[in-house]
């Protein structure tokens, strides 16, 4: 069965490049978009998500980033806007603005800090879904939000609203993936929210990944996904094992600190994150680069 919305198999949660004064580096942002599409095989890009440092971006910056990314993209990949908030009113306003600015879809996170119950989560996402026509990808990440959206809640929302099209699930409990798949419509998409869980999640119903490591290993991750879907399970497993150390290294410190450090080593952006995040040291950056080099050598 065709998905109710196909954002592709490999989606990068893109970093927001910054200058030394912590302002957004729009020239590097444009180059990053082209690099992810042309060199890293991405089907779609998430802008202003967690990896894009959305907690420290202003709404004006988010909107300018979306405009810049759409311009650099030239229609080649789907552009998904991070439009969540712990305030339902703000999430609704951000979603409406994302639609007005031409985002292809939005990524909407479970309200954080407030710790709503499941009824509150349903009311939150119902308000967002009623406010826009564009596709909505739910983002379930208990580690950052303090609460977990249950499979029953996800399935209810998927059945109630046609524009709630997918969930990004960041939880290592694979039983939850099975339950989401069993309870939700067949055309509702599940994306892994953790690189290291992509292959295990695909084996029980996920269709792809919203990735961080794809900034530097997009082609290899895409190969793993394609091999699995083609029934080449051993080849997919072997690629997973090669990539696994990198999957873990890019989360050796709070995201996006490591991936920005690695991208800076590759000369793609400056090694700058906004406070309260702080940059990795030089030795840690070298370890990341060595890990990536080993992956590239093993996959030649």
Specify whether the backbone of 41 is left (phi greater than 0), alpha (psi in -120 to 50) or beta: left
What's the rounded Cα separation, in Å, for the pair 15 and 218? 14
Task: Mark whether 97 is an active-site residue.
Answer: no
- Using CA atoms, how far apart are residues 18 and 39, in angstroms rounded to an integer? 21
**pLDDT by residue, tens only, the chain of 300 residues:** 689 999 999 999 999 999 999 999 999 999 999 999 999 999 999 999 999 999 999 999 999 999 999 999 988 999 999 999 999 999 999 999 999 999 999 999 999 999 999 999 999 999 999 999 999 999 999 889 999 999 999 999 999 999 999 999 999 899 999 999 999 999 999 999 999 999 999 999 999 999 999 999 999 999 999 999 999 999 999 999 999 999 999 999 999 999 999 999 999 999 999 999 999 999 999 999 999 999 999 998
Q: Would 299 be classed as within a structural domain?
A: no
The C-alpha angle with vertex 258 and arms to 172 and 37, in degrees rounded to 5, equals: 85
Dihedral pair phi/psi, residue 216, rounded to 5°: -125, -10
Contact 201, 173 (CB under 8 A): no
139 is a catalytic site residue: yes
What's the number of domains the chain is made of? Answer: 1
pLDDT confidence of residue 300 = 82
CATH label of the domain that carries residue 32: 3.20.20.70
In a domain, 58, yes or no: yes
Residue in 5, 26, 139, 191 annotated catalytic = 139
Q: Is residue 258 part of a domain?
A: no
Catalytic residue chosen out of the listed positions 168, 222, 249, 260: 168
Domain presence at residue 149: yes
Residue at 296 is within a domain: no
From the list 274, 288, 194, 253, the residue with the least C-alpha distance to 22 is: 274
Q: Is the entire prediction scored with pTM above 0.85?
A: yes
Residues facing residue 81 across a β-bridge: 47, 106
Give φ, ψ of 81 to 5 degrees.
-100, 125
What is the domain range of residue 203? 10-230
Is the residue at 246 inside a domain?
Answer: no
Q: Is residue 252 part of a domain?
A: no
pLDDT value, residue 42 = 97
> Do residues 82 and 47 lie in contact, with contact meaning Cβ atoms separated by under 8 Å?
yes
Report the C-alpha gap between 79 and 271 in whole angstroms.
24
3-state secondary structure the chain: CCCCCCCCCEEEECCCCECCCCCECHHHHHHHHHHHHHCCCCCEEEECCCCCCHHHCCHHHHHHHHHHHHHHHCCCCEEEEECCCCCHHHHHHHHHHHHHCCCCEEEEECCCCCCCCHHHHHHHHHHHHHHCCCCEEEEECHHHHCCCCCHHHHHHHHHHCCCEEEEEECCCCHHHHHHHHHHCCCCCEEEECCHHHHHHHHCCCCCEEEECCHHHHHHHHHHHHHHHHCCCHHHHHHHHHHHHHHHHHCCCCCCCHHHHHHHHHCCCCCCCCCCCCCCCCHHHHHHHHHHHHHHHHHCC
What pLDDT is recorded for position 1? Answer: 67
Position 271 in a domain: no
Distance CA 264, CA 244 (A): 21
């Amino acid at each position: 069965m065709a998905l109710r919305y196909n954002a592709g198999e490999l989606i990068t949660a893109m970093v927001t490049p910054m200058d030394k004064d912590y302002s957004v580096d729009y020239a590097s942002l444009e180059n990053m978009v082209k690099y992810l599409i042309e060199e890293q095989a991405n089907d779609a890009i998430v802008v202003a998500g967690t990896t894009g440092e959305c907690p420290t971006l202003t709404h004006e910056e988010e909107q300018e980033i979306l405009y810049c990314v759409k311009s650099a993209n030239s229609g080649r990949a789907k552009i998904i806007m991070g439009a969540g908030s712990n305030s339902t009113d703000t999430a609704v306003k951000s979603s409406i603005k994302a639609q007005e600015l031409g985002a292809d879809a939005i990524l909407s996170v479970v309200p954080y800090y407030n710790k709503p119950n499941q009824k509150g989560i349903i009311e939150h996402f119902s308000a967002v879904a009623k406010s826009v026509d564009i596709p909505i990808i739910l983002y379930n990440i208990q580690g950052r939000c303090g609460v977990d959206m249950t499979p029953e809640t996800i399935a209810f929302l998927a059945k109630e609203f046609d524009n709630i099209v997918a969930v990004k699930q960041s939880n290592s409990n694979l039983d939850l993936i099975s339950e989401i798949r069993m309870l939700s419509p067949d055309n509702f998409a599940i994306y892994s929210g953790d690189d290291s869980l992509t292959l295990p999640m695909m084996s029980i119903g996920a269709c792809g990944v919203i990735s961080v490591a794809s900034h530097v290993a997009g082609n290899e991750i895409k190969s793993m996904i394609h091999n699995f879907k083609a029934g080449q399970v051993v080849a997919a497993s072997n690629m997973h094992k090669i990539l696994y150390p990198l999957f873990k290294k890019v989360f050796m410190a709070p995201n996006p600190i490591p991936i920005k450090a690695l991208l800076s080593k590759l000369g793609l952006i400056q090694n700058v994150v906004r406070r309260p995040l702080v940059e990795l040291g030089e030795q840690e950056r070298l370890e990341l680069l060595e890990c990536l080099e080993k992956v590239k050598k093993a996959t030649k």
